Amino acid sequence: MRVLRVIGAVLLVVLAFSLVGAVFEFLAWALAVGAVVFGGVVLWSLLSSDRSRIGR
């Protein structure tokens, strides 16, 4: 009976680490995509801004 508890506890720990790893992997991809989109928006806004306002 005690062995089953130990095996169950180990399985829960492995499951928790798997879930946390999957969440961090998703967050890494989301951060990369967000950085690319943000860079594109900044570049687009710089290229399309009215140049006559610069320096005023």
**Phi and psi (nearest 5°) for 51?**
-70, -20
**Average pLDDT, stretch 24-41?**
96
Element (H, E) at 54: none
SS3 7: helix
CA-CA distance, 38 to 5, in Å (whole number)? 49
- The pLDDT of residue 50 is 66
pTM of the shown model: 0.58
- The pLDDT of residue 55 is 55
**Hey, where are the domains in the chain?**
22-49
Q: Tell me which residue of 32, 36, 52, 55 sits closest to 44, measured CA to CA.
A: 36
| Structure confidence by residue, pLDDT tens digits, 1-32 | 899 999 999 999 999 999 999 999 999 999 99
